[in-house]
Amino acid sequence: MSPTPNLHLRFVEVDFWKPKSDMSFIDFVDRVLAVSSDSTIRKSDRVLNQLISIIFTCKTIVKLKLGSLVKFAMVPENAYLPSLKTLFFFRVRFSGCEFEALLSACPVLEELTLLGCPWYARQCLTISCTTLERLTLSCKGAIAYSLPWSFSFDTPRLAYLNYHGYIGDEYPIVNLHSLVEAKLSLEYRGSPNEGNPMNLIEGLRNVEVLDLSSLGTSKLLSSFAELIPLFGKLSRVSIATEFQHSCTSWKFLPLLLKKSPNLKTLVIKGPLHFYDEYGEEFEPIICECLSEYSFLSSCHVKILEIIDYGGTKGELGQMKKFLEKLPYLELVNVHASAKAKLTFGTDLQVLLRACNIQLNFFFF
């Protein structure tokens, strides 16, 4: 059996979407596609827009990548990609309903990635696909005013969601019943009064792994604290902190743990204690916003993972409180600098041995 060919079409973009080469390149590609009509084309990477009508009617493409600065004016009426499982857009421009039309032409699509794609003259982006299992949506590469004002997710089989960017004014449809893992890095497009992510947050109630990978996400969720659902299946959560003085993450942490009765792994991505702009620690050593840490006593966390541990006096004091208050803690994984090992590494090991807790150090 002959090997499956891959088709890679790359070009240098000059004056937006016009290729540097002349039409002879297009003719060449036409001949390649014609010769390959009886074989399976597995991958088409960054295809030219003049080729869109040909690509979107190919019955054998399994993986398709488009970008950058390809502009969609239309999707052919006969567009049909019955074998396409992976679709990747990077800075592809949409001006109308082309995106939804393209999705409807992909009956077996499993993975979709949208990076920095502007939707001009669009009010709502609807991602509707009953077969989709993985979705990465990043709006940060596009200008805020060029993004849709509302988002809908009609994806009943989606298991993984990576959502990075500005929140919409509303989320009319959120069908995420099968979601297992979500990574969120969200912030307001303008003022805090703009945007209502509650339908989106409600749609996360079945998630098992949750990564709140930005301080903006914690701040956003804190503003809707009373409406946050019970995360009954959540077993692992990651929350970001920062070096400079901010209680945003720490204020949200007690609420998040209270809403996660079956949480087993807590990951803190950042320092355990604050610093000012001069690198000095804030007093008092223990963060006041955690209210004596009483919320930890009812938490079932067994694994605590600290990313970017600096080994300062404040962090050691913060760590001590976590060790004392988490009744089911069995393992602590610490990612730290070599300096932290030399300064407070020994003190931390003594503390953990006294609490009968296993410690793993990872140095960078």
Res. 25 pLDDT band, cuts 50 70 90: very low
Contact in structure between 310 and 340 (CB atoms under 8 Å): yes
Asked, as a colleague might, if the bond just before 284 is cis with ω within 30 of 0, I would say: yes
User: In whole angstroms, how far apart are CA 349 and each of 66, 245, 314, 323, 326?
Assistant: 51, 27, 16, 12, 17
Check which CATH number belongs to the domain holding 218 and give it.
3.80.10
Task: Tell me if 358 is assigned to some domain.
Answer: yes
Average pLDDT over residues 237-241: 90
Least confident of 37-41, 164-168, 195-199, 244-248: 37-41
- How high is the pLDDT of residue 251? 76
Pairing of the two strands 13-14 and 18-19: antiparallel
Pick the more confident residue, 317 or 274: 317
User: In whole angstroms, how far apart are CA 193 and each of 16, 21, 149, 212, 289?
Assistant: 36, 49, 14, 21, 25
Contact in structure between 142 and 114 (CB atoms under 8 Å): no
Dihedral pair phi/psi, residue 91, rounded to 5°:
55, 40
- How high is the pLDDT of residue 286? 45
User: Ranked by mean pLDDT, which of 160-174, 316-330, 349-363 comes out on top?
Assistant: 160-174
Res. 232 pLDDT band, cuts 50 70 90: very high
Could you report how far apart the first and last alpha carbons of the chain are, in Å? 47
Asked, as a colleague might, if the bond just before 68 is cis with ω within 30 of 0, I would say: yes
Task: Tell me if 157 is assigned to some domain.
Answer: no
- What is the CA angle 205-206-208, rounded to 5? 115
Task: Tell me if 225 is assigned to some domain.
Answer: yes
Least confident of 4-13, 66-75, 88-97: 4-13
- Residue 136 β-bridge partners: 113, 162
User: In whole angstroms, how far apart are CA 263 and each of 11, 178, 210?
Assistant: 49, 19, 11
Task: Tell me if 233 is assigned to some domain.
Answer: yes
Q: How does the average pLDDT of the chain come out, rounded? A: 77
User: Ranked by mean pLDDT, which of 70-74, 197-201, 207-211, 305-309 comes out on top?
Assistant: 207-211
The helices-and-strands tally (H runs, E runs) of the chain is 9, 21
- How high is the pLDDT of residue 218? 83
Res. 266 pLDDT band, cuts 50 70 90: very high
pTM assigned to the model:
0.82
The residue range of the domain holding 269 is 208-364
Pick the more confident residue, 233 or 295: 233
> Does pLDDT of 77 surpass 80?
yes
Q: How far apart are CA 37 and CA 35, in angstroms?
A: 6
> Does pLDDT of 3 surpass 50?
no
Task: Tell me if 294 is assigned to some domain.
Answer: yes
Res. 8 pLDDT band, cuts 50 70 90: low
Average pLDDT over residues 286-303: 74
Residue-wise pLDDT for 139-191, tens only, equals: 875 566 667 778 899 999 999 999 998 888 889 999 999 999 999 998 877 66
Query: Which residues touch 117 (CB under 8 Å, ≥6 apart)?
Result: 89, 90, 91, 92, 93, 94, 139, 141, 142
Least confident of 98-102, 122-126, 155-159, 252-256: 122-126
Res. 345 pLDDT band, cuts 50 70 90: low
- How high is the pLDDT of residue 207? 97
Contact in structure between 213 and 269 (CB atoms under 8 Å): yes
Could you write out the DSSP letters of every residue in 279-330? Answer: SPBPSSSS-GGGGGGGGGGG----EEEEEEE---HHHHHHHHHHHHH-TT--
Least confident of 11-20, 107-116, 221-230, 264-273: 11-20
What percent of the chain clears pLDDT 70, i.e. is strictly above it? 70
Q: How far apart are CA 125 and CA 143, in angstroms?
A: 15
Q: Is 348 left (phi over 0), alpha (psi -120 to 50) or beta?
A: alpha
Contact in structure between 269 and 313 (CB atoms under 8 Å): no
- What is the CA angle 273-274-275, rounded to 5? 130
Task: Tell me if 303 is assigned to some domain.
Answer: yes
- How high is the pLDDT of residue 41? 53
Query: Which residues touch 36 (CB under 8 Å, ≥6 apart)?
Result: 5, 7
- How high is the pLDDT of residue 73? 66
Task: Tell me if 69 is assigned to some domain.
Answer: no
Average pLDDT over residues 223-232: 87
- How high is the pLDDT of residue 156? 97
Q: What is the domain count for the chain?
A: 1
Task: Tell me if 144 is assigned to some domain.
Answer: no
Query: Which residues touch 5 (CB under 8 Å, ≥6 apart)?
Result: 36, 39, 40, 41, 42
Average pLDDT over residues 317-322: 82
Average pLDDT over residues 269-275: 70
Res. 292 pLDDT band, cuts 50 70 90: low
